[in-house]
A and B are shown apart, each in its own frame.
Chain A
Amino acid sequence: MLKKRIIPCLDIKDGRTVKGVNFIDIRDAGDPIELAKRYIDEGADELVFLDITATIEKRKTLAELVKRIAREINIPFTVGGGINSLEDAKAVIHAGADKVSINSSAVKNPSLITEIANEFGAQCVVVAIDVKNETDGWKVYVSGGKIPTGIDAVEWAVQAEERGAGEILLTSMNNDGTKSGFAIEITDAISKAVNIPVIASGGAGEKVHFKEVFEQTKASAALAASIFHFGEIPIPELKIYLQQENIPIR
């Protein structure tokens, strides 16, 4: 049986992990590779590296980092953040990333999805969608959630699939950081509207939230950052819990 995936997200700034602390047996929690290996040992099913480096100049170090990651880790990983063109995607995929995640750049230029899919296959293209619940429904936001687009979230997800996306990474801004659980309603709506895997993101605070999102939606995976970084929910403990709750887990 296909298993539900648990995906830790690592924020990278200037080649270093941010927010990563508190693992007593890690020498350098700021080293993305050490942290990644730790997550793999714990049973992470996949990893997402999100580059939040502000300047383009410093971003050039990303490809070097991706090369190092690819040499060291033995599970699939996605790289996102600042991928605005086919050239940007190529640099990261040639460095060894299994998938790239595009967000604002896909909204601005939807044909970018198709360009990357044609070059590397749909399985390489993750379209990340940040959504917020407004009076007239769930809408897409870009630029790290700062700019509203007025685009309907479900319609955009369906369009992304049609244009060649292999996966949707859905983050609810209403839930992100609240630790009150994933956005069940919109995750359910999007995971039913598309026939590609959907990764639920934003709001995980307790183990039961993962159970809820897997039981109440068609999400294929769930992503979280801080609860794993800060050791609030150790991945092995989460996986044992989900297994006991009859969620298919590796």
Chain B
Amino acid sequence: MIVIIKYNAGNIESVKNAVERLGFECVVSDNKEEILKADKIIFPGVGEAGSAMKYLRERKMDELILSLKQPVLGICLGQQLMCKHSEEGDTACLGIFDASVKKFPPLDTVPHMGWNNLHALKSPLFTGIGENDDVYFVHSYYAEQTKETIALCDYILPFSAAMQKDNFYATQFHPEKSAGVGEKILLNFLNINR
């Protein structure tokens, strides 16, 4: 079973729809037992870092996420919350990735909204994905580049379009909104062998 973590961030139904379109059963849940039993976990999110972390801490969901051993995929705000700190609301985050999350300098239109290409791909998450395939982004904050970066995107500056550490995967872009390319990436995640 695929479990999508339910918390106070939007975009959850879109992710559920996308997983179901790929033929996988999935539930949206904040139930600890259900999450611990899942084969794969998706940690989505559109929203604000400070209020999201507060919500997770109050329910001890931060500890739960850190304890997970199965493959976890953070999406958008999910990736940012998996970093150590976000400038958004000066928020201490989960600290899975050794990266800070910063606001784009206003040198171009912000949010970074639309289709942009990935490069420097290095993960089984991107099997079958080309160096210049486009995916859909919408965000005003970005995770800096670290050794955990598995895909880069350039907008104003190069940033982490995807990250991985052990069983934790994350994308800044929305695979569930990235047409066929996004479906392939989501399918690669869902097919990871534990």
Which residues of the other chain, A, contact B109 by a CB distance below 8 angstroms?
195-197, 218, 220
Query: Do the beta carbons of A166 and B182 come within 8 Å of each other?
Result: no
How many residues on chain A are close to B (CB under 8 Å)? 32
Q: Are A3 and B177 in contact, with the CB atoms below 8 A?
A: no
**What is the 8 Å Cβ interface bit string for chain B, positions 110-141, against chain A (1 contact, 0 not)?**
11111111000000000000000010101110
Q: A70-B14, A123-B113 are in contact. Are A1 and B136 (CB under 8 A)?
A: no
Residues of B within 8 Å of A167, CB to CB, are 113
How many residues of B are in contact with the other chain, CB < 8 A?
35
Chain B neighbourhood of A218, CB < 8 A: 109
A98 is an interface residue with CB less than 8 A from chain B: yes
Chain B positions within 8 Å of A3 at CB level: 114-116, 134
Complex CA gap A122/B106 in Å reads 16
- When C-beta atoms are compared, the residue in chain B nearest to A2 turns out to be B116
Least CB distance from A181 to B in Å reads: 22
A2 engages B115 (CB within 8 Å)? yes
Q: In the complex, are the beta carbons of A166 and B116 less than 8 A apart? A: no
Roughly how many angstroms separate A74 CA and B182 CA in the complex, as a whole number?
Answer: 8
Asked, given contacts A74-B177, A74-B179, whether A195 binds B117 with beta carbons under 8 Å apart, the answer is no
Q: Is the CB of B50 closer than 8 A to any CB of chain A?
A: no
Residue numbers in B under 8 Å from A195 (CB-CB): 106, 109-110
Minimum CB distance partner of A194 in chain B: B109
Summarize A's interface: helix, strand, loop or mixed. loop
A40 to B18 CA separation, bound complex (whole angstroms): 15
Contact with A along B134-174 (1 / 0, CB 8 A): 10101110000000000000110000000000000000001
Chain B, Cβ-Cβ closest to A96: B13
Sample of 16 further A-B pairs with CB below 8 A, known A76-B174, A121-B46? A2-B114, A2-B155, A70-B13, A70-B14, A74-B182, A75-B136, A75-B177, A75-B178, A76-B136, A96-B13, A96-B14, A121-B48, A123-B139, A166-B113, A195-B110, A220-B114
23 contacts between A and B (CB under 8 A): A1-B116, A1-B154, A4-B114, A45-B114, A70-B14, A71-B17, A74-B180, A75-B177, A76-B138, A94-B13, A98-B14, A121-B47, A122-B111, A123-B111, A123-B113, A166-B111, A167-B113, A195-B110, A197-B111, A197-B114, A221-B114, A250-B115, A250-B134
A-B pairs with the 5 shortest C-beta distances?
Answer: A250-B115, A3-B115, A250-B134, A123-B138, A2-B116
